[in-house]
A = this chain, B = another copy of it.
Amino acid sequence: MQIRTDLAMESRAFANGLSGIATHTRKRGAIEETHVRIETEEAAQALDKARGTYITLSHPCLAWCPPEERKEMARAICEALKALLPSAGDLLVVGLGNRSMTADALGSRVLEDVLVTRHLKDLPEEALQGRLRGVCAAAPGVLGVTGLETAEVVQGIVEHVHPAAVIAIDALAARESTRICTTVQITDTGIRPGSGVGNHRAGLTKETLGVPVVAIGVPMVVYASVIARDALSLLLHDIGMDEAEHDQAMDTLMNKLAQKGIGELVVTPREVDELVGKVGRIIADGLNLAFQPRLSEEEIQFLSHDGP
């Protein structure tokens, strides 16, 4: 039975009695922060997630909350990133996904507001000289549009640019629709094959790129089949159906959904275009804070959104 969520905190639910998983949760103002650490290979296989750390930051109405709470989220992203990134060396930010498909456009959207500095940091006339960490950015597109595996493009750039780490931004699929555009997952495990709204064929990991890869993702969709199954499961439980009948009912439902072509449909808020913009900007703020500790929040705000 396939789990079909890119969030480790949701996979956790399938880990009944499993050892090798450490979890803790805390509140930071309006934000709930959950750490999941998958420590053993068995746990990794059981959850279909790589070994490593997954930090989830969640705000119930992230896109519409007041500016101060958005800044809190940006600062929380900054802190989580700092714990996972090397403290020196150039950084390469990779915006994954397809910019022409709204639910998969988060990566491209974040790049619009990331402060790109690699070409500036050594300019003698640069007012911020000596205070900028080198950051560069690439949006490699998707296989169906470019004919290139994302991994091929990113490997090529890494070999020429030699960044200290790669930060990859991606749109995710979740299990609960309440996670859509409210939750940010940050992990040191990189991007795994089969993950993301666009279903990456190859991974971006420390093994493939030779440098640490931190992945930042936000759920943008839930698969329709997941919603139907979860709703049914709760319901059958209420009715008091026994396990064998339950499983048979589930199979019947899955077959019916597949016949009607619903399996691959996604559930998404109608206003997803606007949500991508708002959440993308919060993530970019978090990245800029983490990448440029020698700039003030005002300088970052001006340079990334308002200035040249």
Contacts and interface: CB of A to CB of B under 8 A. Distances in A.
Copies in the complex: 4
A271 interface: yes
A239 B270 CA distance: 34
Interface string A141-153: 1011111100011
Contacts of A274: 100-101
Chief secondary structure at chain A's binding surface? helix
A177 interface: yes
Interface string A139-174: 111011111100011011111110000000000000
Contacts of A143: 119
A271 to B, nearest CB: 6
Contacts of A116: 144-147
A76 interface: no
Among A119, A158, A221: residue with most chain B CB under 10 A: A119
> For chain A, which range describes its interface: under 10, 10 to 19, 20 to 34, or 35 or more residues?
35 or more
A147 B152 contact: no
B101 A118 contact: no
A262 interface: yes
Interface string A19-45: 000000000000000000000000000
B268 A268 contact: yes
A219 to B, nearest CB: 13
Please name the 9 residue pairs, one residue from A and one from B, whose CB atoms are nearest each other, closest first: A156-B156, A136-B147, A118-B147, A116-B147, A152-B160, A156-B160, A156-B157, A136-B148, A265-B267
